[in-house]
Each structure stands twice: as C-alpha cells, then as structure tokens.
Amino acid sequence: MGTNGLTSLLFVLILLAVFGMSLFILPRFMLKRAMSQVLRVFRVHRSLSKESAKTVEELGLKPHSFMERFMKSRDYKPYALQILTRQGVLCQTEDGKLYLSEEKLNEVLEQKKLPL
C-alpha cells in the first residue's frame, strides 16, 4: 500500500470515528446537558413542592412547534423532561402541574439511574 492508500485509509477511519461520536456520544452529552438545564429551570422557578408546582408553559419548557423544530437545532429538553418524569424526579399534580422532588433526585442519582 502506498502513501496515498494509507492516507485514504486514515481519512476513512477518522470519518468513521467522527460519525460514531455523532451517533452515540454527542446525543448522550446533549441529553445530560438538557437534564441539568431542566433541573435548573425547576429550581429557578422554585417549583419544588406540590404547592409551588407550575405548568410546562410557566416553566418555559413547552415543546417547540413543528416549524420551530424545523428551523432550529434539536432540543433535548422535552426528552429530558420525559425521562425525569418517568424516573419520578419530576412529579405531577392532579391539575397537570409539575414540581421537582429533590429527595427522589438524590435517590435516583445514588442508584446511578440518570446520566448526570
């Protein structure tokens, strides 16, 4: 194999590594970042109990419309919101409002169920 062959092979390997990172590592990083951002939103709005629970709209976490998603980069916050709710970290009241359970968050973090 000549120098051109080695250069081409190296270029293909680098491309595959970048492609693999964009498929597996980058989305995980973005989700982890979105989870931290969602938790920060709940803390800033002091939505930490049933009494102080807020709607998704009040928290500014309403998912973007189709056109907004089309025009902007991918937003991982709705997915992070879904995961945190499923894990019990975010609790929902009877009227659909959400609040952060710090106790459940600490419990889930100790069990390493979230990538935070």
Q: Decide if pLDDT at 112 tops 60.
A: yes
Radius of gyration of the chain (CA): 20
pTM attached to this predicted model = 0.79
Q: Decide if pLDDT at 85 tops 80.
A: yes
Task: Please write the tens of the pLDDT for every residue from 16-60.
Answer: 988 887 888 888 899 999 999 999 999 999 999 999 999 999 999
Q: Decide if pLDDT at 1 tops 60.
A: no
Q: Decide if pLDDT at 80 tops 60.
A: yes
What domains sit in the chain, N to C, each tagged with a CATH number? 29-110 (1.10.10.10)
Q: Decide if pLDDT at 14 tops 80.
A: yes
Please give the mean pLDDT across all residues of the chain.
Answer: 89
Between 71 and 75, the more confident residue is 75
What single string gives the DSSP state of each residue in 15-58? Answer: HHHHHHIIIIIHHHHHHHHHHHHHHHHHHHTT--SSTT-B-HHH
